[in-house]
Structure 1
Amino acid sequence: MHDQHLLTEIPTLLTKYYILRSVTIDDTYALFSILSNKNTMRFITANPIRSKEEMHKAIVKSLTKFADRQEIPWVIIDKYSQSLIGQFRLHKLDFWHRKAEMGAVIHEDYQGKGVMTEILKTMIPFVFETLELNRLVGDIFAGNEGSRKLLEKFGFKKEGILRQTDFDGERYHDTIVYSLLAEDFTALGKSIFN
């Protein structure tokens, strides 16, 4: 996609069991129920969303950032139940430097069940083949073993540890930075994404 500036709408991506579609204002309540859950958010932020109004503002902000080509915000829908089960964003998106960071939140009931493995099998090729980015970053709290294993499974390289980046009210958390480059993606081969 040499004309990234022509990305005028958020594309819908399909996996075997899930649909990634554009976030909308109508998703406020469903996202609030996930993003306000302190346990669900324990590896993401010490300060989860506190109100539906705050959630509404966050969605508007994400859609504004999409219009400015700085973010692509999706919600994750279970194909069979049609339930909204999480969100996935490419943020800090920069088409000049050809890089982005990814962020995901999955409903507690769906964690540890392979949702993100399936989504990344579609998302990573989209990032490198369709968007033609060069660098994809995943940064995680040091205690997030599930995400660490997931990133390493898909060939992400550990770049370093940012010490005590977040405070949860009781203690500080380190952030581990992982990245995958276009050349790493090519070296992985297609089989990992089937």
Structure 2
Amino acid sequence: MQEKFPIIETERLILREVTLKDAEDMLTYLSDPDVVKHMGLEPYQTVEDVQSEIQWYQSIVKEGSGVRWGITLRNSGKVIGSCGFLNRAPKHFRAEVGFELSKQYWGKGIASEALEAVVKFGFKHMELERIEALIEPGNTSSQMLVEKTGFVREGLLRHYEYTCGKFDDLLIYSILKGDLT
């Protein structure tokens, strides 16, 4: 990764590093059961919960295993979601992408705009060849989002994660650098 946190700008969005000052804004969506339902998380209860999430974002950048951008609208500095990479395997030129968005912004093309920009950044600046998305079978909106972005469904990973006291199946999707033509 680069020394300075990369900022990505799109037509409507600025994707930037989140800081502890963003915790209140992030609590708005991370405390919403509908937002975290397919993330393998219980809804966050406090600003301190969110601060530990922000510290995780900072730690994955430091260790080189990922990067997570806060999604902000150009006309307000407020963080309304996040999108980024985790489980990066530089040796294999791949990473997993994840995203979430405040419910009041669903259905407006914002997640799509952010995901597309992050995928392009990964291929162009992080030397990725493959980007994966792991999505719960019940999360049809995220499946449609990644498919619209060009991801291909590869299969089902049975009991792949243990979260919130249960084993979760996850669908695996991928997009390759050469898929973006």
Query: Who is 2:27 aligned against?
Result: 32
Q: CA deviation at 1:9?
A: 2.1
The answer to whether the 8 Å contact 1:166/1:174 transfers is no
Q: Deviations over 1:62-93 (max 9, x none)?
A: 21221111111210111123332111121112
The answer to whether the 8 Å contact 2:7/2:15 transfers is yes
- Aligned match of 1:119 in 111, 114, 117? 114
Query: Who is 2:51 aligned against?
Result: 56
Query: Who is 2:138 aligned against?
Result: 143
Rounded Cα–Cα distance in structure 2 between residues aligned with 1:24 and 1:61:
11
Query: Who is 1:17 aligned against?
Result: 12
Rounded Cα–Cα distance in structure 2 between residues aligned with 1:40 and 1:86:
10
- The answer for unaligned runs of 5 or more in structure 2 is none
Query: Who is 2:83 aligned against?
Result: 88
What is the number of residues matched between the two proteins?
180
- The answer for unaligned runs of 5 or more in structure 1 is 190-194
Rounded Cα–Cα distance in structure 2 between residues aligned with 1:43 and 1:58:
16
- 1:33 maps to amino acid: T
Identity of aligned residues (%): 29
- 1:161 maps to amino acid: L
Counterpart secondary structure, 1:75? strand
Q: CA deviation at 1:163?
A: 2.5
Rounded Cα–Cα distance in structure 1 between residues aligned with 2:40 and 2:3:
30
Counterpart secondary structure, 1:48? coil
Q: Deviations over 1:108-134 (max 9, x none)?
A: 000121112212332222111221211
CA RMSD in angstroms comes to: 1.9
Counterpart secondary structure, 1:143? coil
Rounded Cα–Cα distance in structure 1 between residues aligned with 2:168 and 2:63:
31
Rounded Cα–Cα distance in structure 1 between residues aligned with 2:41 and 2:17:
26
After the TM superposition, which segments of 4 or more aligned residues of structure 1 sit over 3 Å from their partners? Answer: 164-169
Q: CA deviation at 1:173?
A: 4.5
Larger radius of gyration: 1
The answer to whether the 8 Å contact 1:112/1:146 transfers is no
Quick check: 1:157 aligned with 2:152? yes
- 1:51 maps to amino acid: T
Q: TM-score, normalised by structure 1?
A: 0.84
Rounded Cα–Cα distance in structure 2 between residues aligned with 1:52 and 1:81:
21
Counterpart secondary structure, 1:16? coil
Q: TM-score, normalised by structure 2?
A: 0.89
